[in-house]
Chain A
Amino acid sequence: MQKYSVFSLIKNAFSNHQNWEVAWKDPTPKSEYDVVIIGGGGHGLATAYYLAKEHNIRNVAIIEKGWIGGGNVGRNTTIIRSNFMYDANARFNEFGMDLWRNLSQELNFNVMFSPRGIINLAHSDAQMNAYARRGNSMRLNGIDAKLLDRDEVKKLIPMADFSDEVRFPIFGGLMQPSAGTARHDAVAWGYARQADDMGVDIIQHCEVTGFDVVNGKIKGIRTSRGDIKAKKVGLCVAGSTNILAEKLNMTLPIETHVLQACVSEPVKPLLDGVVTFGAGHFYISQSDKGEMVMGGDLDGYNSYAQRGNLPTIQHVLTGGLALFPFLSRLKMLRTWGGIMDMSMDGSPIIDKTHIEGLYLNCGWCYGGFKSTPVSGWTFAHTIAQDQVHELNSDLRLNRFSTGHLLDEKGLGTKTWIG
């Protein structure tokens, strides 16, 4: 494989960049694979990469209905963080942070990981207390956390509304300085390029239409491009999880909802980190191009449409304007939607299933992008070793029936709230 570097860039400049190798091939599906990963998003591509790299399983196919990186890995707001309170979520995502820090070097692809920090704002004494508790829990798990008072927040984001008349005054905030953002498309492409180089077949425009299950064991899948035999099959399809589960006669603790995000026109640099509003659901960061990248609530009803409705955007931006009044002067560049696999406790599921050889990776809610590397890493381990890794030992499918929920936000099963 051609290595990307400043030297290869200069060399290719002499031939007007006409002779770059393709980043990944477009193979026709073979009749049989050791492992088939369904879903060519960030998690699926990362899973295939770690299967090849960490477990030396290279007879692997990724089956993607559309094109790779066209789903949520290309639709998220690129926030990467590990500011979780519960041990299971904290150690899982902090392991992921370590993978992020080295990802550009590892993939020889600049994913532009930028640890610019995240601030969760507090607007009451109670919220400050809750953040102090969460920050302490994070520090016990070795994650950096800083409780900021009002003046410290003002130094970092002076453009926020610090006047006396606001409905939700800023009391302070909890900051994770090591959190940040990355270029989401590059994550998908970087994993795809390396996986392809190690022998993984990336098969695009190929829809899974059914499964061959014999005596409780997976034998293969049926697709729009023919039947494919597989010893093991991993599902990494986020918002489409329930559609495939139905073909397997499985019912899951998952509902699919649409989440919207939006960006403004690009402006000069003014916000260098990620900020979340504590009195409503609104978060914002500024992209390297200068656009203000914003998001918030789900539309709030089951949906497979990768688009939402205007009332939710208006509601989210009302919160945004309360925090950052300058946003009212900006033009909206575009809005879009993605479909979320909302689990019933807000935490993901990476596990085996009752069908031998079938593995499940789902339930990412609106936080899947940050976990892309660690999700792929642990899912590859789970598939290769046929057992969960210590890191995903609490992300089991049966935790709902046994009562071992990971309800980080304490919201219960109404996934469309908050």
Chain B
Amino acid sequence: MLYIKCPYCGLRAQKEFSYGGDATVKRPNINEEVSSEDWDNFVYMRKSPRGKHIELWQHIAGCRQWIKVQRDTATHEIFQTAKVTEEIR
């Protein structure tokens, strides 16, 4: 079981959360011309690194906020969590 520290509620079990994928993927700006390649990269292309990965989770059975989690994809160790508006370095 993973234990994720929600920045709003504190340490909670993985079962309270749902996964939202890679948090570093940036949506192309609205109202600007988007090339097919940029759109392709945004929708489909993923680095999926082995090691540190910054990802989105939603505390769906808690405060329902989206949060960022920095986690190791090889060991499942969680290093850091943050509000979705905050940066993880």
Chain A, interface SS category: mixed
| Interface membership of chain B positions 53-89, coded 1 if the CB is closer than 8 angstroms to chain A and 0 otherwise | 1010000000000000001011110000000000000
**A304 pairs with B74, CB closer than 8 A:** yes
Chain B residues in 8 Å Cβ range of A255:
21-22, 46, 48
Q: Which of A36-44, A54-62, A245-253 contacts B (4 or more CB under 8 A)?
A: A245-253
B27 at the interface (CB under 8 A from A): no
Q: Does A256 contact B (CB under 8 A)?
A: yes
Which size class do B's interface residues fall under?
A: 20 to 34
Majority DSSP secondary structure for residues of B touching A = mixed
- B11 lies within 8 A of chain A by Cβ: no
Are A305 and B21 in contact, with the CB atoms below 8 A?
no
Task: Count CB-based A-B contacts (< 8 Å).
Answer: 72
The answer to whether the Cβ of B43 comes within 8 Å of any Cβ in the partner chain is yes
User: Would you call B26 an interface residue if the criterion is a C-beta within 8 Å of the partner chain's C-beta atoms?
Assistant: no
Contact A242 B49 (CB under 8 A): yes
Candidates A246, A300, A303, A400; contact of B44 at CB < 8 Å = A400
Q: Is the CB of B48 within 8 A of A301?
A: no
| A side interface size, CB within 8 A | 24
B77 smallest CB distance to A (angstroms): 10
A243 to B50, CA, bound (A): 7
Contact (A252, B46) CB under 8 Å given A300-B19, A301-B55, A309-B2: yes
**Can you add 16 more A-B contacts, CB < 8 Å, to A242-B48, A400-B43?**
A242-B46, A246-B47, A251-B46, A253-B44, A254-B48, A300-B18, A301-B55, A302-B22, A302-B48, A303-B74, A310-B1, A311-B14, A311-B15, A344-B46, A414-B21, A416-B19
Give B residues with C-beta under 8 Å from A: 1-2, 13-15, 18-19, 21-22, 36-37, 40-41, 43-50, 53, 55, 71, 73-76
